[in-house]
Chains A and B, each alone.
Chain A
Amino acid sequence: MEKAKSIPFYIGVGLIVFLLSVMVISIFYTPYDPNAMDSANRLAAPSMEHPFGTDNFGRDILSRIMEGSQTAFIIGVSSVTIGLIIGFLLGAIGGYFGGWIDEVISRFIDAMLAFPGILLAIMLIAVFSTGMMNTIIALGMMSIPSFARITRSSFIQYKEYDFVKASIAKGASSLRIIFQHILPNAISPILVAVALSFSGAVLSESGLSYLGLGVQPPDPSWGRMLKEAQAYIASAPWYVILTGLAITFLVLGFNLLADGLRDKQDKKA
């Protein structure tokens, strides 16, 4: 049972490792120049020369998907980092101190959760305009609530434990208690949230870029590739299918990882 249950977890890790390797390779090598156009070879079906076919400008789709993985990972890592830092601090302060400050932070988080899907990111981008940097910031903001909530509930739980009470009695500073005593215990639910936020960020970025509100040229983006591919859905279905599969596999990898981490953590508890 133990072993069987972790199969999805390993599938997830496998997908992530595979796509991460593709990303690293793409920094040094892609089969073709991702931006090289070849007007004689427009919308070519997958072949030995172009395993994933070519797009409406004759560009090699495999090379473009490989290059797009860089953007996906950059967006994922950066926005999760922003969300994690701000969300952790808000959750830790609220959960640890409680009282009015907790009330204020909780209301603020509730308010952020009222924006469904990518609406919060869309609003921020509407005001601050598009591009890689603003997409990262917007998606980072969007992931704050989940980190804040998870951190807050761990802190509320651990604050009552004897080892924390003992250090308070010994006169340890709040900062020391938060980072040295409670954080190590709260780490596993936070890791689950990291994996989930990563997949959420990749998914949201593809949606934003599809709408024309995310990453802009020359930065490559899977979502924007899909926007272009949509017009050729009947004549070049492989363009739509393969690009979407890249997004799906990366998101699936992190979702399976999160699920597996959660299972392990539940078993420990």
Chain B
Amino acid sequence: MRYFLYKLSSFITTIIIVSMMIFFVFQLLPGNPAQIILGIDADPNQVAQLEKQLGLDRSSAERYMDWVAGLLQGDLGESLRYQLPVSDILIERIPVTASLAILSIILTVVIGVPLGIFIAHSDGKRVSIFLNVLTQLGISIPSFWFGFILILAFSVTLQLFPTYGYVPWSEDFLGALRSFFLPSFAIAVGNIAIVIRYLRNTILDQSKMDYVRTARVKGLKEHSILYGHILRNSLIPVLTIMGLLVADTLGGSIIIENVFSLPGLGNLLIQSITSRDFPLVQSMVLYIAIIVLLINFIVDILYKVIDPRIRLKG
């Protein structure tokens, strides 16, 4: 319980600091924000009106409090370009990014975990050097470039998947799956490599533990030692990096959505920056950061539930 409260309080404190940081950075917009948004030759009346809409006639502290109070009531402000509440726009975009992220995480686990286990077995010198370089390659490849390569291989040459565009799940389930597969895989590649490396290292570390020797002395088969003992203890640390992987996946989708023209949050973010829709950008950045913090918080709690040995600052 103390652990939970500690994590909860640091979760909330971090959100507050993040929101202050974001707010502060957007205060640094050089010059008059209303003028920047509308352009140099904008009508002064319009500029004055926008200044009022942005609350520029009040102090930053007041505006910050307004923003936070709005956020707490689910009001993320209003987009300048769309003239719509930010929350309405986000709700349309979230399913796309969420589908991409979930599919990508599934691919990471389904491909990464078995490969990691398999590779931990093959501890040959040559094989391990080869795998080391190969997984480093997976981490080093720019995901958007890998997206191009997938398009080149599977869409242009083999014509198995659509190149760009998005099919909603409700319209055509298989079509949606096909439109999400390549972008999800492009994001997943780096994470698969990370999971493989991490799992292999933890399995090798665990294999040297006393309990494994005991199990071996007891005459247990290698197979049951691996699955009954080692794997159980190795998958817990993997859970901790899941939080990291979800963050990576969300970060990756910012670029990948633009490669595959998927109308998700990342796509919206870049469009809003290009059209100088600062209220929308500001709220979106905070929204994405809160998702990341929330997932890390959940992972921390799950970790504790699965392995009660974990203590505060332990």
Contacts and interface: CB of A to CB of B under 8 A. Distances in A.
Contacts of B264: none
Contacts of B288: 115-116, 119
A234 interface: yes
Interface string B281-293: 1000100111011
Contacts of B132: 8, 259
B278 interface: yes
Contacts of B251: 116-119
B292 A114 contact: yes
B247 A233 contact: no
A122 B21 contact: no
Interface residues of A, number: 48
Contacts of A108: 17
A31 B142 CA distance: 27
A226 B139 CA distance: 19
Contacts of A203: 140, 142
A239 B140 CA distance: 19
Given A128-B28, A248-B140, A114 B278 contact: no
B160 to A, nearest CB: 15
Contacts of B269: 122
A-side binding surface: helix, strand, loop or mixed? helix
Given A118-B254, A255-B139, A226 B129 contact: no
A114 B293 contact: yes
B129 A114 contact: no
Interface of A: 1, 4-5, 7-8, 11, 107-108, 110-112, 114-119, 122-128, 199, 203, 206-207, 210-213, 226, 229-230, 233-234, 237, 240-241, 244, 247-248, 251-252, 255-256, 259
A107 B136 contact: no
B303 interface: no
Given A114-B292, A116-B250, A213-B273, A4 B156 contact: no
Nearest to A253: B140
Interface of B: 10, 13-14, 17-18, 21-22, 25-26, 28-30, 125-126, 129, 132-133, 136-137, 139-142, 144-145, 148-149, 151-152, 156, 247-248, 250-252, 254-255, 258-259, 269-270, 273-274, 278, 281, 285, 288-290, 292-293
B281 A123 contact: yes
A127 to B, nearest CB: 6
A211 B25 CA distance: 21
Contacts, number: 141
A107 B254 contact: no
A244 B247 contact: no
Contacts of B21: 111-112
Given A207-B255, A230-B259, A240-B148, A117 B136 contact: no
A98 B273 CA distance: 39
A256 B142 contact: no
Given A115-B289, A117-B248, A124 B133 contact: no
Given A111-B21, A114-B292, A119-B285, A226 B148 contact: yes
B285 A116 contact: no
A11 to B, nearest CB: 6
23 contacts: A8-B129, A111-B17, A122-B254, A122-B269, A122-B270, A123-B285, A127-B26, A211-B270, A233-B151, A233-B156, A234-B156, A240-B148, A240-B152, A241-B149, A241-B152, A244-B141, A244-B142, A244-B145, A244-B149, A247-B142, A248-B137, A251-B140, A255-B139
Nearest to B136: A255
A111, A237, A248 interface centre (most CB from chain B within 10 Å): A111
B292 A116 contact: yes
A206 B141 CA distance: 11
A5, A114, A229, A237 interface centre (most CB from chain B within 10 Å): A114
